[in-house]
Amino acid sequence: MNKNPTDDAVIKASDNKYVKDVDGNSLIYKTEFYIAMNKLLEKGYSASEAYKELGFDVDALGVNRANKCAQKARQMAKEGSFYKPGSLDGSLTREEMGEMTPEQELAWLRARNIYLERALEVEKKAPSILAKNYALLKQMEK
CA distances from 30 to 5, 20, 69 (A): 20, 5, 11
Mean pLDDT for 22-35 is: 90
Q: What is the reported pLDDT for 6?
A: 56
Mean pLDDT for 55-68 is: 95
Instruction: Locate all alpha helices (DSSP H) within the chain, ordered by sequence.
Output: 7-13, 31-42, 47-53, 58-61, 63-79, 94-97, 102-141
Distance CA 22, CA 26 (A): 6
Q: What is the reported pLDDT for 24?
A: 84
pLDDT-based confidence at residue 2 (cuts at 50, 70, 90)? very low
Q: What is the reported pLDDT for 85?
A: 63
Residue 59 has pLDDT above 70, yes or no: yes
Least confident span in 4-13, 19-28, 109-118: 4-13
Contacts of residue 40, defined as CB under 8 A and 6 or more positions apart, other chains included, come to: 49, 50, 53, 54
Are the C-beta atoms of 94 and 35 separated by less than 8 Å?
Answer: no
pLDDT tens per residue, range 101-136: 898 888 889 989 998 998 999 889 888 888 888 888
Is the overall model pTM greater than 0.85, yes or no? no
3-class state of residue 25 by DSSP = coil
pLDDT tens per residue, range 62-104: 999 999 999 999 999 888 877 766 678 888 888 888 888 898 8
